[in-house]
Amino acid sequence: MNWEAWEETSNSVSGSSNIMKKILRYLMIFIVIAVGQLPAVVFAVDETSDIKTRPITSIEVSGLFSMSEPELLYLLNIEKGGVLDRETLSDGVKRAFLTGIFDDIVIENLDAAGTAIAVRAKEKPVISSITIKGNSYFSNSFVRKELSFSSAERLTGLKIREGTAKLIEAMRKGGFLNADALSELKPAGKNEVTVEVIINEGAPELIRQIVIPAHGDVINDFLPFGEGSIFDHVAMEHFKNKVLQYYRKKDFVGTSLSYAWVNGVLTLNLDPGKMLKVVFSGNSALKSDELMKEVPFFEINEINDDLIEETMAGILALYRKNGFILAQATPIISGTPDTSLLQIYISEGDRYKVGEVTIDGASISQDRLKDILVSKAGDDYNPDDLETDRSNLGDFYHALGYLDIEVQEPEVMMQDHKALIKYVLNEKQQVKIENIEIAGTKNVSADEIMKIVAVKSGSPYNDVDISESRRKIIELYNNRGFLEAKVSVKRDIAGAAARILFVVSEGNITFFGKNIILGNDRTRQFVIEREFIHETSMPFDTGKLLQERQRLYRLGLFSDVEVAPSDQSDGKRDVIYKLREADAGAVEFGLGYGEFEKYRAFLDVSYRNIFGMNRQASFRTEISSIEKRFILSYSEPFFFIRDLVLKSSLLYESKKELNIDTHKTSYHLSRETASVGVEKKLSDTVKGSLNYDFSVVKTKDVDPNIILSREDTGSLIISGVRPELIYDTRDNPFDPKKGVLAGLTFKVASAALFSQTDFLKLQVYANKYQSLSKRFVVAVSLRGGAAQGFGDTRELPIVERFFLGGRTTVRGYDQDTLGPKAADSTPIGGNAFIMGNLELRADVGRGFGVVAFSDAGNVWDKIQNIDIAQLKYTTGLGLRYNTPVGPLRVDYGVKLNREKGESFGAVHFSVGHAF
Amino acid sequence: MTAASCYAEVMERVAAYVNDKAITLSEFRENAQRTRKTLADISDSDIINSMINRLLLLQEAKKMRLEAPTKDELVRDYIDIKIKSAIIIKEEDIERFFSENSAKFNGQDYFEVRDEIEKYLFEREANRHLKKHIEELRAESDIKIQLKASE
């Protein structure tokens, strides 16, 4: 019965109160049905009969396509030997359902004894393909774009409904008013469906006639359709915007364009509005362009008295900000029926500066107080800042325990175009904290809480610190599993002493429940789980969840990681990990040209999720006119234990060293290297590694002038171990804005490792990155190295010597051309080097960057011959274009201490920053 | 087929779902039992739909980061903030209602019944808004009811 019906049939009512009670009772029933909300008394009825099985002896699972049986049983919390009750079953089904895979999960009891269980899962089908039929005007790509579902997605009724509706709307807007579409589902293979989108475009709305009462010249310039065209509403909106923009650029305001569409006749009514000219006069300190920024008429496409008044207020505020406190602005509007002229007469008045600022009655030093003021001596005087400063002083004193501080209105005296500002304070007494107590703690000791409390006995009373302390106590409890912990603060302020009592209500402890992992279509579940640092039944800790989120991001497999606890159930909270997998494969390539190397190209193909196990493999080739290099590498991120990475690589390199002047070949070198090693994360910022390298180096066609040792010609086996330590606090390894990267590498090759040469080699480096502002980063690098032969080895083989010059070392010099040279000027490398680099990196927008750099460095034949005075300096500019793997870059460096016969500079192409 | 394999009792299943949240059969049964103590004739369909509506409102309340000691209070708070806070009953509407229905008030003075009329009009308006809001939420959610008559 509805209200109207009641009104018709109810004739005898004893009183209005009864009427209303009946009405309200009726409404309450409606709410019960609509919302399922019942009065508390109804909730307190007896429970339903409980299900309880005996220990389960057999579990039968069916209907799974994209989840393994153990994974589903884990989520359902069903295991052999376990006992099921109603709550466990209900929680399990709800938990598994959160994965978004299922349409239904039915759990059946297969025998009367309750020992055999069947789990019948029904997964939501996957869309295998989408076929489109019936379209002739609209292309398949248009239809696919409008449908919000695509193949390989899981089918849901909502997606089909919304996608189809969106398509219909788009077709109708496109001029087919009667367009319709239907999405039919057809089974296709195991748990897959084909969606057949059947389109009925219907007849389009055709424009029979276009009527343009006025301004036809402008309209025809932009009109996208003519008589006989389909009336496309989307094109119509674009057309309207273009016309409005056209008039805006011509300084018109009040432009409007409307249309009428009746029986195929399109009537376009354009009112261009009025051309508005805004003229400032009388201004000299502030330019008209600056004042125009305060004029909103063109942006709003309107001019009226209120807007003019707002504009004047904005202009005067701008003047006051610049010290013109007596500035006046008078608007006068005039014009013809087609044009308006707004003349704004400015009387700037004199400019005033802030003179002396004094603060009377302050026991705190004047300098300290003046630091917090906006108006400082010498600044432009703006009276609008006085109230801000008064408030700042009050807040500052309050934070120091002066709870009754009085800051009087400032006295301002104008003298010689200076404002002398005087604040008078009445500090009154400072309240200090006499005593801090903690009450209500059971599971965390008061001593432990006191350590994190920001306020201390004897310190000034400060509400901000007290609130922060309260927040920290709650956070501490939350991280120990007490998610409902509440902390109230009782303050007892008597005279100059305050007693603070934090009263803790711990609530019940919550433990970690199950882990629900969503979105890992390619990545194996255990790869994700091994990044977890919590265990089921540990006290729930949101801090651990944050760390796990970071760990998952660091795998490089996911573009989005969302970690959220689910609702609490039975003292436990499940954790839902919603992941979005990033592209695991990448192909990079680049081309470049250098004066010395001529052409240069590289190709890098990598995949970081082999078998869904985060195993990474890559193949990189670098080719130039003098060098070929092929590297095949593989890494296993979880080598038996957490954070231990196995790395291995195979390298083949063939290099032709040319004389820099004659371009004659000085020697040919080929190297085959196999490396294997482990890398261990020692802390969040430090990692160590130990590698073994085995190389077969062949040097031939060697110019006798550059042979330093017997190892420099023929075939040579180099076998050595290479421990390394890296400290890394960079925010982004590809494009760091802040942080430090420092490291130390030591290599020893010895006959004990079957090496035909013996040497020790040490390299150190430290790079520092610091953001100066949103767009500027300064980067500094210092690198050095030293090597020494031992045993029968006096000189290191040429492949192990240090070389500098080129794209990542000293730009301005060609690749590897710095340092000791043979008689024919061919670089022969050395046993020691020192290098420094400085870069100012500027982001100029749209992915581009400009870098100014300065490099210095040199190579010496022996450690004892290092001479800082022999450092070679270069400077230059570079251009960057950002890509996900670092910037593509081109640098041009200029030699600052060029020697006779040397080139002026060199161009370098590469990917990634120089350091 | 053995006798044992013929025996199959559904212990639990998904009675309905709203996006990724399931309403289980046992939850439905428990809710139905409670509701029928107050509304004996209410149908299964009405019960499951009311559970779906409640779930939708709870999801919205969580999106707004509302907190309350119980889920029922959370729903109530959400309705208060989202629905009721936006309703204003104008004086002229109360007067119009009084004049249109004056015969049914047995000659009572306007000021004697004004507050009750206002309360009635407010609740009526709140219900109208709530119904509309729920319809909107349902339209943008993936909802499926798979409860069978036998269950």
pLDDT of B21 = 92
Does residue B78 lie in a domain region?
A: yes
* CB contacts, 8 Å: B104 with chain A: 7, 10, 13, 16, 19
Does residue B68 lie in a domain region?
A: yes
Residue A678 has pLDDT above 90, yes or no: yes
Residue A902 has pLDDT above 90, yes or no: no
Write out residues 2-41 of B within 8 Å (CB-CB) of A: 4-5, 7-14, 17, 19-22, 24, 26-27, 29-31, 33-35, 37-39
Q: Which of A27, A29, A100 sits opposite B39 (nearest CB)?
A: A29
CA distances from A861 to A321, A745, A828 (A): 64, 20, 9
Share of chain A above pLDDT 90, in %: 70
> What does the DSSP 8-state code read for residue A804?
B
Are B120 and A90 within 8 A, CB to CB?
Answer: no
Q: What is the CATH number of the domain that holds A239?
A: 3.10.20
Interface predicted TM-score (ipTM) of this complex, two decimals? 0.88
Residue A106 has pLDDT above 80, yes or no: yes
Give which of B5, B11, B131 to mutate to test A binding, by max A Cβ within 10 Å: B11
Q: Which of A19, A42, A109 sits opposite B11 (nearest CB)?
A: A109
- Chain A contact for B47 (CB, 8 A cutoff): yes
Residue A658 has pLDDT above 80, yes or no: no
pLDDT of B148 = 67
Does residue A695 lie in a domain region?
A: yes
Are B38 and A31 within 8 A, CB to CB?
Answer: no
A722 shares its domain with A664: yes
pLDDT of A473 = 96
User: Of the candidates A86, A72, A88, A79, which has an alpha carbon nearest to the alpha carbon of residue A58?
Assistant: A79
Q: Residue A552 and residue A561: Cα distance in Å, rounded?
A: 7
Are B72 and A43 within 8 A, CB to CB?
Answer: yes
* Range name among A187-196, A265-274, A640-649, A816-825 with the lowest pLDDT average: A816-825
Q: Closest approach of chain A CAs to the CA of B11, in angstroms?
A: 5
Tally of CB atoms within 10 A around A799: 19
Locate the chain B residue with the closest alpha carbon to A576. B20
Last residue in a domain, options A225, A251, A271: A271
Residue A49 has pLDDT above 90, yes or no: no
A79 shares its domain with A143: no
Phi, psi of A327 (to 5 degrees): -60, 145
The amino acid occupying position A850 is V
**pLDDT digit string, tens, across residues A543-567:** 899 999 999 998 989 999 999 888 7
3-state SS of A397-459 is: HHHCCCCCCEECCCEEEEECCEEEEEEEEECCCCCEEEEEEEECCCCCCHHHHHHHCCCCCCC
**3-class secondary-structure state, position A829:** coil
* Range name among A311-315, A564-568, A831-835, B81-85 with the lowest pLDDT average: A564-568
Residue A46 has pLDDT above 50, yes or no: no
Q: Which residue has the higher pLDDT, A900 or A320?
A: A320
Q: Closest approach of chain B CAs to the CA of A154, in angstroms?
A: 12
Q: How confident is the model at residue A15 (pLDDT cuts 50, 70, 90)?
A: very low
Q: Given the structure tokens 């609130």, which residue do they identify?
A: A467
Residue A882 has pLDDT above 50, yes or no: yes
What total of structural domains would you count in chain A?
9
What total of structural domains would you count in chain B?
1
A219 shares its domain with A194: no
Q: How confident is the model at residue A3 (pLDDT cuts 50, 70, 90)?
A: very low
Residue A69 has pLDDT above 80, yes or no: yes
Locate the chain B residue with the closest alpha carbon to A30. B127
- Chain B contact for A13 (CB, 8 A cutoff): yes
pLDDT of A700 = 83
* Range name among A62-66, A515-519, A654-658, A754-758 with the lowest pLDDT average: A654-658
- Chain B contact for A30 (CB, 8 A cutoff): yes
Does residue A601 lie in a domain region?
A: yes
Does residue B119 lie in a domain region?
A: no
Does residue B33 lie in a domain region?
A: yes
Last residue in a domain, options A347, A378, A405: A347
A525 shares its domain with A670: no
Does residue A48 lie in a domain region?
A: no
Give which of A11, A87, A97 to mutate to test B binding, by max B Cβ within 10 Å: A97
Are B26 and A156 within 8 A, CB to CB?
Answer: no
**pLDDT digit string, tens, across residues B79-107:** 999 999 989 999 999 999 999 988 888 88
* Range name among A436-445, A646-655, A794-803 with the lowest pLDDT average: A794-803
Are A45 and B142 within 8 A, CB to CB?
Answer: no
Residue span of the structural domain in which A292 resides: 274-347
Residue span of the structural domain in which B52 resides: 11-86+129-145
Last residue in a domain, options A367, A394, A426: A426
A573 shares its domain with A602: no
Ramachandran class of A829: left when φ > 0, alpha when ψ lies in -120 to 50, beta otherwise: left
Element (H, E) at A815: none
* Range name among A11-20, A152-161, A664-673 with the lowest pLDDT average: A11-20
Q: How confident is the model at residue A17 (pLDDT cuts 50, 70, 90)?
A: very low
Element (H, E) at A560: strand A558-569
pLDDT of A52 = 62
Are A100 and B20 within 8 A, CB to CB?
Answer: yes
* Range name among A45-49, A298-302, A588-592 with the lowest pLDDT average: A45-49
A718 shares its domain with A831: yes
Does residue B58 lie in a domain region?
A: yes
Does residue B45 lie in a domain region?
A: yes
Q: Which of A40, A86, A93 sits opposite B22 (nearest CB)?
A: A93
Q: Closest approach of chain A CAs to the CA of B93, in angstroms?
A: 16
Does residue B109 lie in a domain region?
A: no
Residues 6 or more apart in contact with residue A779 via CB below 8 angstroms: A736, A767, A768, A769, A770, A837, A838, A839, A841, A913, A915
pLDDT of A611 = 92
- Chain B contact for A1 (CB, 8 A cutoff): no
pLDDT of A708 = 56
Q: Which of A31, A105, A117 sits opposite B14 (nearest CB)?
A: A105
- Chain A contact for B45 (CB, 8 A cutoff): no
pLDDT of A48 = 39
Q: How confident is the model at residue A18 (pLDDT cuts 50, 70, 90)?
A: low
Residue A734 has pLDDT above 70, yes or no: yes
Q: How confident is the model at residue A45 (pLDDT cuts 50, 70, 90)?
A: very low
Residue A8 has pLDDT above 70, yes or no: no
Give which of A48, A58, A120 to mutate to test B binding, by max B Cβ within 10 Å: A48
In A790-847, at which residue ranges do the beta strands (DSSP E only) sit?
832-845
A665 shares its domain with A735: yes
The amino acid occupying position A97 is F
Does residue A51 lie in a domain region?
A: no
* CB contacts, 8 Å: A34 with chain B: 50, 53, 127, 130-131, 134
Residue A14 has pLDDT above 70, yes or no: no
CA distances from A351 to A385, A414, A604, A744, B149 (A): 16, 11, 63, 60, 85
pLDDT of A817 = 87
**In the predicted model, what is the mean pLDDT of chain A?**
88
Q: Residue A334 and residue A39: Cα distance in Å, rounded?
A: 69
A225 shares its domain with A336: no
- Chain B contact for A229 (CB, 8 A cutoff): no
A265 shares its domain with A279: no
Give which of A49, A83, A91, A94 to mutate to test B binding, by max B Cβ within 10 Å: A94
**pLDDT digit string, tens, across residues B55-76:** 999 999 989 989 888 889 999 9
A413 shares its domain with A478: no
Q: Closest approach of chain A CAs to the CA of B4, in angstroms?
A: 6
Taking chain A, what is the end-to-end CA distance rounded to the nearest angstrom?
Answer: 79
- Chain A contact for B136 (CB, 8 A cutoff): no
Q: How confident is the model at residue A626 (pLDDT cuts 50, 70, 90)?
A: confident
Does residue A62 lie in a domain region?
A: yes
Mean pLDDT in residue range A790-804: 87
- Chain B contact for A29 (CB, 8 A cutoff): yes
Mean pLDDT in residue range A748-757: 92
A829 shares its domain with A745: yes
A and B: number of Cβ contacts within 8 A: 170
- Chain A contact for B68 (CB, 8 A cutoff): no
Mean pLDDT in residue range A3-21: 38
Q: Closest approach of chain B CAs to the CA of A41, in angstroms?
A: 10
A682 shares its domain with A727: yes
**pLDDT digit string, tens, across residues A196-214:** 999 999 999 999 999 999 9
Instruction: State the alpha helices, DSSP H only, in A124-266.
Output: 140-146, 157-173, 216-222, 233-249
Q: How confident is the model at residue B151 (pLDDT cuts 50, 70, 90)?
A: very low
Give which of A6, A29, A37, A161 to mutate to test B binding, by max B Cβ within 10 Å: A37
Q: Which of B35, B120, B140 sits opposite A23 (nearest CB)?
A: B120
Q: Which of B26, B51, B127 sits opposite A89 (nearest CB)?
A: B26
Q: Closest approach of chain B CAs to the CA of A501, in angstroms?
A: 25
Mean pLDDT in residue range B15-42: 93
The amino acid occupying position B89 is I
Write out residues 80-99 of B within 8 Å (CB-CB) of A: none
Q: How confident is the model at residue B2 (pLDDT cuts 50, 70, 90)?
A: very low
Q: Do residues A296 and A275 touch, judged by C-beta distance below 8 A?
A: no
pLDDT of A596 = 64
Q: Residue A455 and residue A467: Cα distance in Å, rounded?
A: 10
User: Of the candidates A533, A527, A396, A415, which has an alpha carbon nearest to the alpha carbon of residue A464?
Assistant: A396
- Chain B contact for A3 (CB, 8 A cutoff): yes
User: Of the candidates A715, A799, A708, A700, which has an alpha carbon nearest to the alpha carbon of residue A749?
Assistant: A799
Q: Which of B27, B105, B131 sits opposite A34 (nearest CB)?
A: B131
Q: What is the CATH number of the domain that holds A534?
A: 3.10.20.310
Residue A193 has pLDDT above 60, yes or no: yes
Element (H, E) at B49: helix B44-63
Taking chain B, what is the end-to-end CA distance rounded to the nearest angstrom?
Answer: 25
Are B105 and A16 within 8 A, CB to CB?
Answer: yes
Are B12 and A89 within 8 A, CB to CB?
Answer: yes
Q: How confident is the model at residue A799 (pLDDT cuts 50, 70, 90)?
A: confident
* Range name among A390-404, A423-437, A746-760, A819-833 with the lowest pLDDT average: A819-833
pLDDT of B149 = 53
